[in-house]
Structure 1
Amino acid sequence: MKTFSLKPSLVVNYENRIMRFMGKSINHKLLFKDEYGESITLSESEFYSLFDARKITIDENQPHLGVTPFVRNVAPDLTCFPKKHQVVAVRRKRYLDALKARCDKFPNRKTLNKLLPEIAKELADEKKAPSAITVRRWYYKGLNNSIVALIPQHAKKGRATVFTPELEDLLLDVLNTTYFKPEAIPVKQVYEEFIRRTREYNSDKLPSRQLKYISDSTVRRYIKSLDPFEVEVNKNGRHAAEKKFSKSVGQLTVNNILDRWEIDHTPLDVMIVDPVTGNVIGRPFLTVVLDRYSRMVMAYWIHFSAPNTESVLRVIERAISPKTTWLAKYPKVINEWPARGLPLRIVPDNAAEFHADNLITAFTEMGIEIMFPRSRGPQMKGAVERFFRTLNMGLIHTLPGTTFSNVKDRGDYKPEKHACLTMKSLESALVKWIVDIYHQSPHKGLASNTPMAVWKAMEPSRVIQMPSDLDALETALSHRKFVTVQPYGIQLSNNFYHSDELASLRLKLAKEQKVQMRYRDEMGHIWVHDPFRNIFFEVPAKDKRLIGTSRDIYKDAVKKAKSENAKLVDREAIQEAYHQIREGIDEARRSNKQTVRREAAKQQAVIDERSANKVPLIVARNSFRPPLLESNNEESRSMFPVHSFSAAEV
């Protein structure tokens, strides 16, 4: 993927005009000139707004674009192995080097038997000269001239375990019920209980199916081999274990913005309600990307589904992209949000969604290094963990419907009773708090500077790389799948995608040849790879109602429609269920109290009107009473004619 930065001579395309970036003016405006010398000035936020809207595109046929670095892992060297194994590897390498110096090609067995004693004397080897067969084995191991390949494989040796799966399960059950307790239970009692359980298990089994009785020392070795941290967790709890085995050596050094991002998920301590019914939906999840150097929040993503690869892909795309257009949706936000650009590395946790092939491949294509922390090491990404605490104390725990962090802090507070925030109102409050409060507040870890001040101060010294094509960024941060193009197009999740360009591609493909497809949570379109032109092109959905539809919410809608009508799944019913779910998440209503007040006001108005006219309400028994019609629809009026009675007629 090619990248760009706002450096002089950058060529862009704006309103079908080829323009060259000349630099910044005195008032910090971006100065562009076209091929005729006419100039245009834009602020940085205006430039990124036009770029985000695809009105400004980057000319990729220019020498001023950057390329993403190639990131690879380094294999272990000789020093990563025990000292005695290093000595063995060096001895083997010296024999092979001596043979290479004496012979143009590897000698046969007879010649080796003559040469090896001479080489042993020459090298002053204290051990006996190796045999020809042994040296030949060394030769084939070290063909790539790597001394690491000559390391002896003693680590793979060891005694075979005496534990069968049934025996180990039985011992673990004894440990869970007897040993993993706050009290100091001696291992002798554990062993006696284990023998008793084994004898009980064998009492009704044939001799061939009985478990083997193991010794006391074997049980002791097994307990000693357990992770001491996990043993402490099971005996006294995680907090006590982390306190007992805590380490804090050294200090993490980050040199500039965009050098290190930290990403993590957390369930928000607040209940969300349905904007129409006022019913409590539940607690949403929050995914946050934080720049470690400046503590600037690069992006966030609120979602109800459990953290998955999709939420990570979406929040990374938002973190890289400029925020100007998106921030315009929140007019109450005063300050700007300049966070943007490609990072050097990202530090996630060891959750499954961060190990997905799609995610690792996307980061590799963009030149982003993933640094997985060690297991049970939340302090390795302590900045984003600390941000969640600041967010809870500064905003979430002050909102109605908060669940607080624990039952002790909650007391007699009922979150379900006080919940009144919708998804939209929660997100508005979150954006306002991040941009106008958190980014503008002094931070102890920044020498009492604010995240915004640190970011602004470091921008001139950091060349911020941006993807030259936002569509390329979208395809990179997408799910990948190989599919066969059918006459009706491509089917994905029981929805169909087709276009004239896809039909032309199908004619060129061989029979049963598959093409690469990339898709996102948004169901309006997919991307298909053309192997002949080596490009991705967009293929829209046949059903235009899918534009803007979330794939996760659509799946929930399908399940809801199937549960309501198991025999026949109607597409209209699915669409209706989808809109019901979407309205329950996206639309906002101020509070449940306002709904109750409006309904009470309507009922009071009807009562007051009847009292003023003194017209009694008379309804004939077993008669049909049409519903009140508030619509001006003529068809509705004809279906339910309403006759108005005067006071005299009554």
Structure 2
Amino acid sequence: MNDAESEGAEVNERASFAPVRGQMKLEVGALVQQGKAVYRIAQLLDLTTLVGMEVESGRASVLRIRELTPLQSASETQPNTDLEDVADEGWRIAQQRFASIAPLIHQPFMTALQVETRAQEVGVNAATLYRWIGRYRESGVVTALIPFKRGWKEGRGRIAVPAEAVIAEVIKNYYLNQQRPGVEKTVREVQRLCLERGITAPSPTAIRARIARVPERERLRSRGFAEQARHKFTPAAGKFPGADFPLSVVQIDHTPLDIIVVDDEHRQPIGRPYVTIATDVYSRVITGYYLSLDAPSATSVAMAVAHSILSKEEWLILHDVKAEWPVWGIPKTIHVDNGAEFRSGTFQRACTQYGIHLEYRPLMRPQFGGNVERVIGTTLREIHDLPGTTFSSVKERAGYDSEKQSALTLSELERWLVTWLCTVYLRRKHASIGTDPLTKWQLGLLGNAEVVGIGIPALPADRMTLLLDFLPSYTRTIQTFGVSIEGWTYYDSALRPWINAKDQDTGRGRKFTFRRDPRDISSVWFFDPELRSYFKIPFSDIRTPSLSAWEDAQIKERLKREGTTQPTTDDLLRALSGLREQVDAAKSRTKKARRQAQRQKVHKQGVTPAEPLAMTESALLVPSTSAATAPLLVGDIQPFGEIE
């Protein structure tokens, strides 16, 4: 193979991969790899190192967690597919089974009595419950609970739609009322109504399983225990219900930061950036974030959640921060407000896949979001010491020209933020928990003489699979020209076998799943259902430069004003060129144009939590000798005092 062929093969390898949704378990007895060597974990030393016994030689070695990879498994409980390709029947069965085992899998310790009791509640035998628990724990994803033969195919559900409707009706109008009928009476009522309406009645087991899926809060409130529900699920001051161990509840929220940043080229003001922060309620640890010039969106949520779940070593390298941030893992519950960005179908489905309970803040109950808001408040107060701060009010800002004093670029601000987070916030005593967040986090995981830890969280086996699961998806047919998504055409030879493919059941054009990062829509990820792999598909017109979904919206609005309602590719390219020429001409004069140009530059870099080092380090790292940041990192970060 010559150099050109070798280079091409390397590119192709990067442009395709098979999704893997398993996990690397970090617990005593689990198998892991370091290079080609296989180790069995013998002891967990701390959150960064462990002792492993090499399987082949029996020799003990101290291993760094960041250098380990999961042992490749051929288990059939990890089918490779895109989440959008899972049949509705499969989702129903998997969610039903997950609801049955959820009260058990999130407990640090599980007894045989608890399994027997739960098995009776959901109407299955204990052996079945143990099997479901084993399959879920092996992979860490809900789709592992789909039946092998039925779950991945289109077809009728196990219960006919009319019968499902009867069950839902009876649960709502009969079971969830203050007369409090028992489960068996509810089963008989479903069977009675089905007989009365000429519908084949579901099995008692199926009916019990659906009753078991009713959330406890709804069950208590609807059956006359409103006060008990309020007492159990309403947080007292300084406490959130259920946040009893690390990752039990992670809260996420957004805010514009109280600082004006400058662009990279002219170092002139471009306005305030936004940050999305995820925080662990139990320990107050910041588990992840997303900093951007874009307003909060579904993309912000996807990036913040992925950053929260994944390990941070490469992220620290990216920002040249010499510190530790040993925080990762899939949360039990993600708690958010009622913003549209948290209610997308993609986000909800991805949370379901990873066994994450998505809980929305009750309207008019601000105390439910207090933890993340206090963390955000702490972050904003620290920023008030930086040049270009807008403070938190006009009164505080009196006599201070924020734009004139602005000095930090977005990347310099991010480096400051990561440094402060790792060296100050995580290690400074928090008033409400009596210790620093990192110590509380470590105590909850590893335990001590008085506290039993839950163990170190598992790491996702494949970073890119995790990120794609949370990114926006599209279903499209594939034509001779490729695939069209929102006016742009994409093509690659990977699409060729599926051109004009027909759905075997309907005879219509078969639809396939595509995913993309809105920050750069110059390519999409296509999931090939036969090869069970993702392929990166670029624009079909090689003249088209990289652009973001936000630029796309701008140029289409511009064409619409000009009277072009169905633009061709040439129309879109012409409008994009005009927009960028306008920005280039104005960026030395206007803040809006500079912000637009800077957004374009950041989007083009393609940095994600899954691929932090996507660009060369020299192009992305902030020099440690930056005149703007050096005095801040040395003199303005003080690791003393308590966080409110």
TM beyond 0.5: yes
Structure number with greater Rg is 1
Q: Residue in 1 aligned with 2:25?
A: 5
1:605-646 CA-to-partner distances (Å, cap 9, x unmatched) read xxxxxxxxxxxxxxxxxxxxxxxxxxxxxxxxxxxxxxxxxx
Q: Residue in 2 aligned with 1:328?
A: 317
Q: Residue in 1 aligned with 2:444?
A: 458
1:136 Cα deviation after fit: 9.3
CA contact (8 A) 2:51 2:63 kept: yes
Distance 1:418 1:306, change over 3 A: same
* Separation in 1, partners of 2:499, 2:256: 45
Q: Residue in 2 aligned with 1:532?
A: 530
Q: Residue in 2 aligned with 1:81?
A: 177
Query: What are the equivalent positions in structure 2 for 1:178-577 lying under 5 Å apart?
Result: 252-331=241-320, 333-393=321-381, 395-447=382-434, 449-460=435-446, 461=453, 462-506=455-499, 509=502, 512-521=509-518, 522-523=520-521, 525-541=523-539, 550-552=548-550, 555-556=553-554, 569=574
- Of the structure 1 ranges 73-82 and 507-516, higher mean CA displacement relative to structure 2 is found in 73-82
Q: Aligned partner of 1:31: which letter?
A: G
- Residue of 42, 54, 66 corresponding to 2:63: 42
Distance 1:341 1:136, change over 3 A: closer
TM-score by length of 1: 0.58
Distance 1:362 1:33, change over 3 A: same
* Separation in 2, partners of 1:338, 1:578: 41
CA contact (8 A) 2:302 2:470 kept: yes
1:302-330 CA-to-partner distances (Å, cap 9, x unmatched) read 12222111110111011111100111122
* Separation in 1, partners of 2:563, 2:510: 38
* Higher RCO by CA contacts (8 Å cutoff, separation 6 or greater): 2
1:249 Cα deviation after fit: 11
1:458 Cα deviation after fit: 2.5
1:194-221 CA-to-partner distances (Å, cap 9, x unmatched) read xxxxxxxxxxxxxxxxxxxxxxxxxxxx
Distance 1:554 1:135, change over 3 A: closer
**CA RMSD for the aligned pairs?**
4.6
CA contact (8 A) 2:325 2:422 kept: yes
CA contact (8 A) 2:240 2:368 kept: no
* Separation in 2, partners of 1:431, 1:250: 27
1:520-542 CA-to-partner distances (Å, cap 9, x unmatched) read 23435422233335554443455
Distance 1:486 1:136, change over 3 A: closer
* Separation in 1, partners of 2:237, 2:439: 29
* Separation in 2, partners of 1:578, 1:4: 46
Q: Residue in 1 aligned with 2:220?
A: none
- Of the structure 1 ranges 5-14 and 537-546, higher mean CA displacement relative to structure 2 is found in 537-546
Query: What are the equivalent positions in structure 2 for 1:68-147 lying under 5 Å apart?
Result: 68=141, 80-82=176-178
Give the secondary structure class of the aligned counterpart of 1:516.
strand
1:35 Cα deviation after fit: 5.0
* Separation in 1, partners of 2:362, 2:351: 20
* Separation in 2, partners of 1:251, 1:37: 46
Return 5+ residue gaps in structure 2 as ranges: 1-20, 76-134, 146-166, 212-234, 447-452, 565-570, 585-593, 603-619, 629-644
1:522-566 CA-to-partner distances (Å, cap 9, x unmatched) read 435422233335554443455789898644356557778999999
Q: Aligned partner of 1:378: which letter?
A: P
- Residue of 107, 124, 140 corresponding to 1:67: 140
Q: Aligned partner of 1:268: which letter?
A: L
1:251 Cα deviation after fit: 6.0
Q: Aligned partner of 2:526: which letter?
A: V
TM-score by length of 2: 0.58
Distance 1:316 1:247, change over 3 A: closer
* Separation in 2, partners of 1:477, 1:552: 19
Task: Give aligned-pair identity as a percent.
Answer: 24
Q: Aligned partner of 2:430: which letter?
A: H
* Separation in 2, partners of 1:507, 1:9: 50
Q: Aligned partner of 1:452: which letter?
A: L
CA contact (8 A) 2:240 2:281 kept: no
* Separation in 2, partners of 1:263, 1:308: 13
Q: Aligned partner of 1:67: which letter?
A: G
Q: Aligned partner of 2:357: which letter?
A: E
1:337 Cα deviation after fit: 0.5
Return 5+ residue gaps in structure 1 as ranges: 48-55, 101-105, 107-133, 150-245, 592-650
Distance 1:26 1:548, change over 3 A: farther
CA contact (8 A) 2:473 2:514 kept: yes
Distance 1:249 1:306, change over 3 A: closer
In the comparison of the two structures, how many residue pairs are matched?
A: 444
Give the secondary structure class of the aligned counterpart of 1:265.
strand
Q: Aligned partner of 1:471: which letter?
A: M
- Of the structure 1 ranges 138-147 and 516-525, higher mean CA displacement relative to structure 2 is found in 138-147
CA contact (8 A) 2:249 2:331 kept: yes
Distance 1:279 1:33, change over 3 A: same
